[in-house]
Amino acid sequence: MKNKNKIISMIIIFTLLALQLTLTSCQQETEQQIETFTVTKGDIVQRVTSTGHVNSSKQKNYSIQSSGEVLLSLEKGDSFSKGDIIFKIDNQRTELNIKNAEENLKLAQSSLGQAKINYQQALDTNHIAVQLAEANKELAAQNTKTASIALDDAYKTANESNDYARAALKSARTSLNTAQITVEGAEQALADSKNILEEAEDDSIYNDTQIAQYESNVNSAENNVENSQANLESVQAQIDSAEATYEQTEAQSSAQVHSAEGAYEQALINQNITNWSTLGETQNAEKQILLAQQGIKQAEFQINIAKINIDLAKLDLDKNKVIAPFNGFVLDANFSEGELASPGVSVVSIIREDFIITSQIDETDIDKIEIGQQVDFTLDAFYGNDYKGKIIDISPISENIGGIVSYEIEVEPENKENLIHGLTANLEIISTKASDVLIVPTNSVYEENGKFFIDLQIDEEIRKKEVKVGESSYDYIEIHSGLKEGDIIITSRLENE
C-alpha cells in the first residue's frame, strides 16, 4: 500500500512539471521567434529497453522409451540435486533381457572355446597328414626307383642269358658242322679203305698180310664212321638241347622282363595314386583348418553380438529412469506413482536452478547490442530494487510475431537474489556512451548532400556552419569539429519567420 501511494505521488509531480514546462515553452515562443542552444559539454548515452522474464539457463523435457508402472516421480516444484533419480518405472522385463543376453554371451564364449579346440585339432591333423604324405611320397618314389632298377636288371639279365644261350646254340651248331664233316671224312676214308681192299684182293701182288692190313684199315674206318656218326648224333642232341635251352631262356627272360616292366608300371601307378591321395588328405586337412578358423571367427562374432545385446539391454535398463543432470526444480510432472507410463510421452520437465533473464530485442536495435554489454534491470515483483547483469548470448535465429521481427538475448545477473522463475523483468541496455564531449540537440543538425550542418548565431546574424558529428542519442548528438563550447546555435524557428 505504501508503494502504491508513492507511485501516485510521483505521477502527480511529473504531471505538474510537464504542465509547467508547457506554459514556459508557450511563454518563450511568445517572447521570441527562435529557439537557441548554447554549445556545452556533456554525456551522450544510447539505451535499448525491453521487457523479459526470469528463465532457467537450461530446461530439459524427458520421455521414456519403454512402458511400465511408475515407481517414482517428483512433483511440480520439487527441488533435486545432480544425480538424483527424478522419475522411474518398473524394469523387470529389461532385467530379464539382460540375463538372457548374459547367458547368450556365456554360450558364445563356450562355442569359442570349442572352436579353438577344433582349430588345434585341425592343426595337429594337418601336421600328421603332411608328415604321412611326405613319408608315403618318399616310399612310393623309393618303390618306383627299386622297380626301375629291377627292370634294368631284368633287361640286363635277359640279354646276358639270351646271349649265353645263343652262344651255346651257335657253338653246338659249329660242333654239328664239324661232326658232319668228320662223318663225311670217315665215310670217305671207309670208302677209300674198301676200294683199296678190293684192289688188293684182286691183285696178286698183295700178300695176305697186306690184305689183312687193308681189312684192318676198313674195320678201323668203319669204326671211325660209327664213332663220327655217334658223335654227330650227340652233337645233334646238343643242338636240340641248346635250341630248347635258348627258347626256354628267351621265354624266361621275356617273362622276367615283362614282370619287371609290370612291377615298374605298377610302382608308377602306385606313386601317382599316393601323390593324389596325399594331396587330397593334405587339402582336406587344410580345409579343416580353414573351417576351424571360420568357427573361431563366428564364435567371436557371436560374442560381440552378445556383448552388444548386453549393452543394449543395459541401455534399456537406464531408460527406465531419469537421472538429474544438474541441480534444479521440476517444472512439470505428468505422472504419479502407480500410473502406467508409455513410450514417447513426456513424463517430466525440469529446469536448472541457475536463473537468467531472457528478452526479445527488436530488429532495429539488434545492431546496438553485443555479448558482454552491461544490462540494468528491475523486477515488477520487487519494485525499487535495481539489478545488474551482462549479455551472455544473442540468438542468431529471429522470431516473427505479428510481423514484428525480434531476436532473443540472454542476460546473466550479477546478483541472483529474489530471482524466481517466470518473473517479469524490465531491461535497459547502454549501447553507446560518450563522456565529456561537445553536444547539441539532435534536431539542430541537418544533412545536405552527405554533409552535416548547423545554424550558428553570431551577434544578430545566423550562419550555416558545416560540422562533423559523432555519437548520438534521442536528445543529443556529439560534435567533433565545427563548433566550440559556448557557441550559440539555432535549434528551431517559428513558422511565420
DSSP class per residue in 256-277: HHHHHHHHHHHHHHHHHHHHHH
Look at residue 329 in the predicted model and tell me its pLDDT: 92
Look at residue 17 in the predicted model and tell me its pLDDT: 53
Cell 528478452 -> residue: 359
Domain boundaries, the chain: 1-31, 33-57+356-497, 62-90+320-353, 95-306
Neighbour-count burial of 81, counting CB atoms closer than 10 A to its CB (0-12 exposed, 13-18 middle, 19+ buried): exposed
Look at residue 33 in the predicted model and tell me its pLDDT: 62
CATH number of the 95-306 domain = 1.10.287
CA distance 354 to 329: 10
Look at residue 35 in the predicted model and tell me its pLDDT: 87
14's grid cell: 511529473
Q: Does domain 62-90+320-353 have CATH number 3.30.110.30?
A: no
CA distance 246 to 234: 18
- What crossing angle do the helices spanning 92-202 and 208-318 adopt, rounded to 10°? 170
Look at residue 37 in the predicted model and tell me its pLDDT: 92
Look at residue 406 in the predicted model and tell me its pLDDT: 95
CA distance 464 to 496: 20
Cell 549393452 -> residue: 311
Fold annotation for 33-57+356-497: Elongation Factor Tu (Ef-tu); domain 3 (2.40.30)
Helix (H, G, I), strand (E, B) or coil at 183: helix
Those residues of the chain that have pLDDT short of 50 are 1-9, 11-12, 23, 26-32, 494-497
168's grid cell: 651255346
Going by C-alpha positions, the residue among 144, 465, 115 that lies closest to residue 301 is: 115
